[in-house]
Each structure stands twice: as C-alpha cells, then as structure tokens.
Amino acid sequence: DGSLAEVDPEVHAAVAAELTRQRRTLEMIASENFAPLAVMQAQGSVLTNKYAEGYPGRRYYGGCEHVDVVEQLAIDRLKALFGAEYANVQPHSGAQANAAVMAALLQPGDAILGLALAHGGHLTHGMHLNFSGRLYDVAAYHVREDDHRVDMAEVERLAHSHRPKLIIAGWSAYPRQQDFAEFRRIADAVGAYLMVDMAHFAGLVAAGLHPSPVPHAHVVTSTTHKTLGGPRGGVILATADLAKKFNSSVFPGQQGGPLEHVIAAKAVAFKLAAEPEFRDRQERTLAGARVLAERLLAEDGLGVISGGTDVHLVLVDLRASELDGKQGEDRLHRVGITVNRNAVPFDPRPPMVSSGLRIGTAALAARGFGVAEFRAVADVIALALRPEVTDVELDALADRVSTLADRFPLYPELQA
C-alpha cells in the first residue's frame, strides 16, 4: 500500500502533468468542463469498492444501505433539477444511456431518424460504424445550406417516408436551439417516440437558459460531464410510464454493477447545478460564446456556422480560409488554446482534416472567465488563425494565453 506517487510513479507523473496542462492552457473543447473538487472527491471515494446491481431498495447484493442513500439522492436531485417524473443515473456514459433507450424502445432492424453526424449529430444517433447504425435502419436529417439550421421540413418528410419508430433530436456540434415541440408534433404524426439527447446543453437547461426538452420528449438522455459540469457519465429522464422499460434496459439489459462512486459524484453535481452560482456560470458561458462568434465574424476569411450561436459553442467555418481544420487546431494548440477540428455542414475537406473548429466556453466559464476575458481570448483566436501570422506573433499570443490562465488558478488545493 502507499500513495499513488509511491506505488506507481509513472501514472502519478502523467496525472500531475495533466493537471499542469489543464492549468496552463485554455480549455475550449466544447464537450469538456472542470468538475468541482467536491465532485472529484466523491468519485475518488470508497464507493468504488461496492457492488450494487439493482436499484435503491431492490439490490442483488448486501451492504447497500449507504450507496442506496447516495443513488436515491442523485435520482431525486436530477428529477427536481429538470422537472422529470423518472430518472435513471446508472448509465456509465452518454453512449450507454442512448444504447439503453434504443434497446428499450426498439427491435433490431427498426427505423430511426437522427441528425447526420456531418451536420452536427452524434455517433450514437445512427452513424454506420456505431451500434445505432449497425442495429437499426437509419435515415438522417440535415441542416439547410443557406442558414445552417435544422431543416424541419426534411425531418417531417423523412418521418413520413422512412416511418421511424424513434426520432432523435439533440446534437454534438450545432450552435443553435432546436424546436422540441415541432419534433414532438412530427413524432406524434407518425407514431414515433421522441428522444432528445441534451448531452451538450443540459447545463444551460438546468440553469433555465435554454428551452427544456423534458415537457416535449418521451425520453431525454444526457451526459453529466459537459455543460452540466459533473463527473463523466450518462443519465436518462422520462415520463413515469416508461420507468420499468428503461430501468430493466440499463440493468440487466446493458450494464452490470452501477458505478456508485460516479453516481455519488453525479449527486454532488446535481446539487451544485441547482445553486445560483451555477446559473451565473452558465450565463457567462453563453455570453462568452456570443462574444467569440462576434469577434470571429469580424475577421476576414473566417466564418461562423449559422452566423452566431445560442449555446455554449461556436463552429468556426474555415472553408474560405487557407487554413484547414487540422492546421487551425494546431495553431491554437501552439498558443495554448485546446479545441477540436470538426467537419462543418457541406464540408469539402475530408473528416480527418475538415474545415471547421468547434470552440466551447463552458470550461473557461467554470474557471471564472467573464465577458472581458472571453473578449481577450476571442482576440487571440482571431489573430492566431490569420494565415500570415508569424512565429514571433504566435509567441506573443501564447504569452497572452499564459497570463490569462495564471489569473484564474485551477484546483489550487491540488498538488501537481
């Protein structure tokens, strides 16, 4: 026995280096965030030792009295946070939550309809290599070429021609809100279930800054680690009539023992998400994304997909730039800003290169950034993406990034 540093110096060193990386760089991957220390403490707790197959009060193992408390807290807080009748907090990830929902509602070969991956959808919404694309008969809807908004006329058309049993709204790379009521109207017209995957924007919904899908969808899935700011994991929300179907689909359908240490961390995150400080953070997230979109739109050669943003991310359009997505990602990495390249709708470049950058503001808002700091970051990004920028100029931008990062200490309680 002994500390991590003693037992495994190699893993310890890599973890310490990662803490330093997170502190020194500006994290703008739209799906990432910084879990609060209390969340990480719960996740790093003795609950990792406990088997608890089943659900609170109905377990297949003894000694579950304390994990029952934890899991019930997580369920009750999640239901209250989103006003849902039913919640399942056991899915190990967002992908597992979606798999469980589909397994509960569909038979292999059934038709589904989701947003195309290349237009902002997620792998689990029907991508051909994913379980969703392999098990089900997929049709995909798209965004319109002129304004990059989801083409609801196409959704309606495909719903009637493809006859999906499940329609999926939600996205991984789409900078606007979707019309959940309209999705539900279309689903009802063809007798389909509507699932909304709010993984990306759940934190905005929890803060009341984004329309909630809960009143419209039969089922809502989410991750807990994106804008919601909790541990890595998934959840399912639904109406009470679907509770049995989803509970048995998660366990024993898809998973064995729940990760009670992660569920404890989810419970802590849901508590924090109900507090005023969380709303303030989500407001800064949204304001930061708007500031970023405006600054990048003002830059020659750069575009912003859909002309702006309603959410925590901006999709930079490099189709008119000499730089492709890979080069743009590398440029920003060079100055200490972490983002991911991303296909833009109607992208002429191949996916490994792509013509877009997905840039999110949730992690920096968690770090304390407000509008003034987001203005400064937006300026650095715009300048770094100028094709003609020199190495000396990039060094100066990297200094600006370091200064900003140093002003907002990350996890001061932790030792690197």
Residues at the binding site for (6S)-5,6,7,8-tetrahydrofolate are 117, 121-123
Q: Does 170 bind ligand PLP (CB under 6 A)?
A: yes
Q: Does 33 bind ligand PLP (CB under 6 A)?
A: no
Q: Does 95 bind ligand PLP (CB under 6 A)?
A: yes
Distance CA 317, CA 92 (A): 33
Please report, as residue ranges, which positions from 209 to 228 form the binding site for ligand PLP (by CB under 6 A): 223
Distance CA 396, CA 73 (A): 49
Is residue 317 a contact partner of residue 304, using CB atoms and an 8 Å limit? yes
Cβ closest to ligand PLP, residue 31 vs residue 355: 31
How many Å is the maximal CA-CA distance in the chain?
Answer: 66
Instruction: Work out whether strand 58-59 and strand 54-55 pair parallel, antiparallel, or are unpaired.
Output: antiparallel
Closest distance to ligand PLP from the beta carbon of 227 (Å): 11
Cβ closest to ligand PLP, residue 47 vs residue 168: 168
Write out the catalytic residue numbers.
51, 53, 197, 223, 226, 232
Candidate segments 18-26, 42-50, 168-176, 289-297, binder of ligand PLP by CB under 6 A = 168-176
* CB-nearest residue to ligand PLP: 94
Distance CA 174, CA 313 (A): 8
Is residue 351 a contact partner of residue 342, using CB atoms and an 8 Å limit? no
- Residue corresponding to tokens 């707790």: 45
Cβ closest to ligand PLP, residue 77 vs residue 125: 125
Q: Does 124 bind ligand PLP (CB under 6 A)?
A: yes
Candidate segments 1-9, 142-150, 194-202, 311-319, binder of ligand PLP by CB under 6 A = 194-202
Q: Does 93 bind ligand PLP (CB under 6 A)?
A: yes
Binding-site residues sit at 117, 121-123
Q: Does 172 bind ligand PLP (CB under 6 A)?
A: yes
Can you name the residues that pair with 169 across neighbouring β-strands? 196
Q: Which amino acid is at 350?
A: P
Q: Does 358 bind ligand PLP (CB under 6 A)?
A: no
Q: Does 200 bind ligand PLP (CB under 6 A)?
A: yes
Phi first, then psi, for residue 43 (nearest 5°) are -70, -30
Task: Single out the residue of 138, 111, 141 nearest to residue 127, CA to CA.
Answer: 138
Contacts of 191 (CB under 8 A, 6+ apart): none
Task: Single out the residue of 353, 313, 346, 332 nearest to residue 173, CA to CA.
Answer: 313
Cβ count within 10 A of residue 232 = 17
Distance CA 213, CA 227 (A): 16
Q: Which amino acid is at 257?
A: G
For ligand PLP, how many residues bind (rule: CB under 6 A)?
A: 14
Closest distance to ligand PLP from the beta carbon of 220 (Å): 11
- Residue corresponding to tokens 């689903």: 187
Q: Does 361 bind ligand PLP (CB under 6 A)?
A: no
Q: How far is CA 303 from CA 290, 320, 385, in A?
A: 14, 8, 12
Q: Does 197 bind ligand PLP (CB under 6 A)?
A: yes
Q: How far is CA 27 from CA 22, 124, 146, 299, 401, in A?
A: 7, 25, 31, 22, 11
Candidate segments 67-75, 167-175, 300-308, 316-324, binder of ligand PLP by CB under 6 A = 167-175
Closest distance to ligand PLP from the beta carbon of 230 (Å): 11
Is residue 42 a contact partner of residue 267, using CB atoms and an 8 Å limit? yes
Among 23, 50, 59, 122, which residue sits at the site for ligand PLP (rule: CB under 6 A)?
Answer: 122
Q: Does 31 bind ligand PLP (CB under 6 A)?
A: yes
Contacts of 14 (CB under 8 A, 6+ apart): none
Cβ closest to ligand PLP, residue 35 vs residue 384: 35
Cβ closest to ligand PLP, residue 31 vs residue 249: 31
Cβ closest to ligand PLP, residue 171 vs residue 278: 171
Cβ closest to ligand PLP, residue 131 vs residue 408: 131
Distance CA 358, CA 312 (A): 10
Q: Does 199 bind ligand PLP (CB under 6 A)?
A: yes
Q: Does 42 bind ligand PLP (CB under 6 A)?
A: no
Closest distance to ligand PLP from the beta carbon of 1 (Å): 32
Closest distance to ligand PLP from the beta carbon of 415 (Å): 28
Among 94, 203, 231, 288, which residue sits at the site for ligand PLP (rule: CB under 6 A)?
Answer: 94
Q: Is 87 exposed, middle or buried (0-12, 13-18, 19+ CB in 10 A)?
A: buried
Residues at the site binding ligand PLP, with contacts judged by CB under 6 A: 31, 93-95, 122, 124, 170-172, 197, 199-200, 223, 234
